[in-house]
């Protein structure tokens, strides 16, 4: 038997320029599989910042499955999870849902930050009301299910056009210069109803419900912006082997799909092995925690391959 390296990538555990400051940016890491609505808190690092935003993951076999859920058949932009939330309700214009997270470090005043997030409108008839004013906001204040952000008609990143893509993904992107040491990122609709325009995709919709995936904040535009125009980025579809998040603090998730038995090997910059682990299955997802000091590490997935003598 001969072991052949399938892939080698960097695993960073220190904050460097160009990293994504959003923890668990595509909601892949979770502590418990969602089994009902309003459980965005089960995605590690994310919080309910208003009412009942939903968490979808492939681990759920029914209503909150990815890609086949109660509202849409929709592949994740990245990995196997995303969040769904109501951003406008025609019958109750004061009702909106928000999600939030603590950034991996405070923003630096005077620094320009580049921001992206993927959005997709649910196509179910009652939910298919597209809106403008979908926003990404930065704050120093934490919110909760019953303590919502103010509808103050402001967000640092706002879509002034309708986001009407269904069954695929639209990348909302923009940049801003931080005027405060913001520590939180919030996603939602921060505008009053009279400033929010609507567009019917199907007949008689009553709610605007969006799926959200792959959120990015960085000082480097190339970290966040996709190479494609608005729509799904084929390069972001699930890979046979992926490790996320990267950078991380030593806890990460390895997702793999191999044709034979394999193992994970982690080495430091001098090539010394610091961790080795035999993968229990040929495919799956495993969360691993390593007591690593800050630095740069390399990871390899090796797959057994038979060769003739």
In this predicted structure, the answer to whether residue 304 has a pLDDT above a threshold of 60 is no
Is the confidence at residue 124, as pLDDT, over 80?
Answer: yes
For the entire predicted model, the pTM comes to: 0.69
Q: What is the pLDDT of residue 180?
A: 95
Residue with tokens 């009301």: 129
Evaluate if residue 6 carries a pLDDT over 50.
Answer: no
Q: How many CA atoms lie within 13 A of 302 on its CB side?
A: 14
Give the model's pLDDT for residue 101.
96
Tens digit of pLDDT for each residue in 133-174?
A: 999 999 999 999 889 999 999 999 999 889 988 889 999 999
**Confidence (pLDDT) at 275:** 83
Highest mean pLDDT out of 14-23, 173-182, 196-205: 173-182
Residue 85 has pLDDT above 90, yes or no: yes
* % of the chain with per-residue pLDDT over 90: 50
The pLDDT tens digits for 8-43 are 344 433 334 468 999 999 999 999 999 999 999 999
Bigger pLDDT: 210 or 222? 210
Q: How confident is the model at residue 175 (pLDDT cuts 50, 70, 90)?
A: very high
Section 116-134 average pLDDT: 90
Q: State mean pLDDT over 178-182.
A: 95
pLDDT number for residue 22: 94
Inform me whether the pLDDT recorded for 222 exceeds 90. Answer: no
Q: What per-residue confidence (pLDDT) applies to 81?
A: 95
Distances (CA, A) of 46 to 20, 41, 185: 15, 6, 10
Cβ(299)–Cβ(11) under 8 Å? yes
Tens-digit pLDDT profile for residues 55-71? 999 999 989 999 999 88
> How many Cα atoms sit within 13 Å of 198 on the Cβ side?
21
pLDDT-derived band at 260, boundaries 50, 70, 90: low
CA–CA dist 253, 290 (Å, integer): 11
Average pLDDT of the residues in 245-253 = 77
Q: Which residue has the tokens 């609505």?
A: 37
pLDDT of residue 259: 63
What does the mean pLDDT of the chain come to? 82
The pLDDT tens digits of the residues spanning 96-118 come to 999 999 999 999 999 999 999 99
* Contacts for 84 with CB less than 8 Å, ≥ 6 apart: 53, 54, 56, 69, 71, 122, 209, 210, 211, 212
Half-sphere exposure of 122 (CA within 13 A, CB side): 25
């Amino acid at each position: 038997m001969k072991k052949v390296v399938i892939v080698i990538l960097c695993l960073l555990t220190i904050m460097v320029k160009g990293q994504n400051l959003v923890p668990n940016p595509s909601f892949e890491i979770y502590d418990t599989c969602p089994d009902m609505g309003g459980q965005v808190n089960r995605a590690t690092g994310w919080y309910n910042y208003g009412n009942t935003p939903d968490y979808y993951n492939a681990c759920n076999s029914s209503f909150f499955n990815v890609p086949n859920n109660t509202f849409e058949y929709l592949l994740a932009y990245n990995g196997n999870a995303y969040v769904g939330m109501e951003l406008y309700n025609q019958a109750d214009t004061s009702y909106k849902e928000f999600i939030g997270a603590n950034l991996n470090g405070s923003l630096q005043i005077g620094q320009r930050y580049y921001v992206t997030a993927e959005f997709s409108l649910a196509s179910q008839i009652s939910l298919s009301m597209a809106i403008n004013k979908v926003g990404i906001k930065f704050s120093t204040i934490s919110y909760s299910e019953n303590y919502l952000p103010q509808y103050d008609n402001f967000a640092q990143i706002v879509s002034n056009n309708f986001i009407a893509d269904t069954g695929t993904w639209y990348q909302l992107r923009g940049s801003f210069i931080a005027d405060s040491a913001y520590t939180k990122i919030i996603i939602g609709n921060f505008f009053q109803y009279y400033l929010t325009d609507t567009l019917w995709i199907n007949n008689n919709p009553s709610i605007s419900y969006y799926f959200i995936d792959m959120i990015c904040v960085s000082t480097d535009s190339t970290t966040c912006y996709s190479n494609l125009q608005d729509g799904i980025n084929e390069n972001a579809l699930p890979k046979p082997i992926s490790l996320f998040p990267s950078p991380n603090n030593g806890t990460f998730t390895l997702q793999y799909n191999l044709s034979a038995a394999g193992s994970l090997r982690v080495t430091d910059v001098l090539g010394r092995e610091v961790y080795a682990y035999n993968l229990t299955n040929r495919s799956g997802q495993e969360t691993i925690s390593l007591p690593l000091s800050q630095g740069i590490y390399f990871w390899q997935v090796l797959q057994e391959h038979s060769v003739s003598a």
